[in-house]
Amino acid sequence: MKRFLPGWRGLTQLFAVTVLPLTLLLLFIAFGGVNLHQQDMRALVGERDERAVQASAAALESELHHRIATITSMAVLSSEDLTFEEIFATTNDLANDFNGGIAFLNSDGHLLANTGNDRFWGWVSLNVQSHSLASPPDREPVFSAPILDPNSKQLFVIVSAYSAYRDVIVAGAFSPETLAAETLSATYPSGSHVTIYLLDDSRRLLFVSGALAQANLESNHPGVLEALQGKSGVLYVKKGKAEHVVAYSPIKSTGWALITEEEWEMVVSPSLQLTQMAPLVIVPAFVLALIALWFGANQIVQPLQRLESKAAVLAWGDFDAIKDSVGGISEVRHLQMELTEMSRKVQAAQNGLHDYIGAITSAQEDERMRLARELHDDTIQAVIALKQRVQLAQKSVKDQHGRQSLNELETLAEQTIENLRRLTRALRPIYLEDLGLVTALEMLARETSQNNHLVVEFQKTGQERRLSREVELSLYRIAQEALNNVVKHSKASRADLKIAFEPLKINIDVRDNGNGFLVPKSPTELAPSGHFGLLGIHERADLIGARLEIESALGKGTRLTVILSRVEG
């Protein structure tokens, strides 16, 4: 028995000197890795929730703008010789978004006509002074505060616009609860453990859903104050033994706040418990250390990094980027599957929105052409005839004072003719139809230089070729809007407009030496940031399959590039 003691002593020394330190180090690394894994997943869930709440707020904002457009179109129709019933019939499809009905009221609030919900509109008419409805001389649509219908006990929000032609108010009522339920269901499907709160600027709950929902939200609930101040972000709040992720975002057109809350550990806790137990059951400590290091790098960190880069590309509209698997542990793959499903739903919603925007854009261009024809065929000809009458009158007037007045009138008529022609060219670029995109862009640069304190240089490279009418018109409008932004906002003294024809693509480049700005991280931030011109450019580029790139820095000017690929000459 004694002859075996030295061997046991050697094994003990080996265990004490080598195996035990390696095991302790491994356990430290293993549990430290689990903690890092928790922090990464915690941050990723927070980032996912923040992007989801921003996308949901943008979707609600889009729906609210759609309702504004509906009421505005009805206000425009009221300026024509149509009865209220004919207007209702004309806009029947658009009016489906107003489950509280649509009504016409005079400027004193007297109800003139409405589409259903008679008792509600009668009550609104009697209490019109207590509600924020549009009134003279308002020209922009107005959202009211949420109104409790005394009959149905349901909250309604009224969006209204004033029509000066008939001195009437066009108003449409919709339920914010129904709007939120329909809009947010795409991002937060039934069965999700995310709790959603939608509040107005007085902190009244308009919509609530989820397992953690509270009937009365506390005034100091995390994220409420920040969202009502126009901020968006994410907070981590300790509640008992669990930690909740609270994401918030404002809805600026109405001053509302969208809050989401969930317990982030619900996503990953089962796998984390297995990961914590794994180091206790593996005997070869030094092998486990290598396996754990490899596993952590190859299955967690790298997949999360790849997923983060794909999510960043997804934010700019590349929906295919998120589909390629990043591998990794099941939580990462599950998170990628959720992001893929969310991107599919967002893409479907955007496709529908693009069709709607395309129809609006086409109707806008048709209306511009109609106005341009009327100005050219009627108004300009009438002013030319007036100028000729003045010239004839000059021959018969002998009085010097009278001849001077007629000369001033003739000069004013010439200026009016020139202004109308410039307006007609802006509405309907005749150079584009007759001479092509290059000539139209060159004339656009020349007219912008002549009419503003700005030097605009035009340059063409490559062999010019004609494109379809829709593509040429979209590229022209993009350049026109880009130069308008330079004139209105950049305070630049010089701008360059370039078009480059390459075998497989066409580039349009607009750059200036102005004051620049901070470029939003994704297109969803263009509207909340007030960059509606850039949003229009992005939508036009998207409609023709072009890619938009924006480079800008404060004090260093701006460069806007539109790249149209796969173009045939």
The tens digit of pLDDT for each residue in 35-72 reads 776 777 778 888 888 998 999 999 999 999 988 888 88
Give the N- to C-terminal CA distance of the chain in Å, as an integer: 95
Per-residue b or e along 388-425, where b marks 16 or more CB atoms closer than 10 Å to that residue's CB:
eebeeeeeeeeeeeeeeebeebbeebeebbeebeebbb
* 517 neighbors 554 (Cβ within 8 angstroms): yes
User: What values do phi and psi take at 117, rounded to 5?
Assistant: 55, 50
Q: CA separation (Å) from 313 to 302, 364, 490, 534? A: 17, 32, 28, 19
Look at residue 408 in the predicted model and tell me its pLDDT: 79
Cα–Cα distance measured from residue 366 to residue 353, given in angstroms and rounded to the nearest whole number = 20
User: Which residue(s) pair with 174 in the sheet?
Assistant: 157
Between the alpha carbon of residue 29 and those of residues 151, 292, 329, the distances in Å are: 65, 8, 18
Q: What is the spatial distance between Cα 558 and Cα 490, in angstroms, rounded to a whole number?
A: 8
Structure tokens given for 376: 């050219």
473: which 2 tokens? 């018109």
> What are the pLDDT digits (tens) for 498-553?
999 988 889 999 999 999 888 887 676 676 666 777 878 888 888 888 888 889 88
For residue range 143-186, what is the model confidence (pLDDT) as tens digits? Answer: 988 988 888 888 999 998 888 888 888 999 999 999 998 888 88
CATH number of the domain at 429-569, please?
Answer: 3.30.565.10
Residue 359: its pLDDT value, please?
57
**274 Cβ contact partners less than 8 Å away, ≥ 6 residues apart:** none
Dist. CA 180–CA 189, nearest whole Å: 12
pTM: 0.46
Burial of 175 (0-12, 13-18, 19+ CB in 10 A): buried
Structural domain spans, the chain: 1-281, 429-569
Instruction: Find residue 552's DSSP bridge partners.
Output: 558
- Sheet containing strand 494-501, edge to edge, reads 455-461, 494-501, 505-512, 558-565, 547-552
Is the pLDDT at 337 greater than 90? The verdict is no
Instruction: Give the residue from 411, 429, 423 showing the smallest Cα distance to 379.
Output: 423
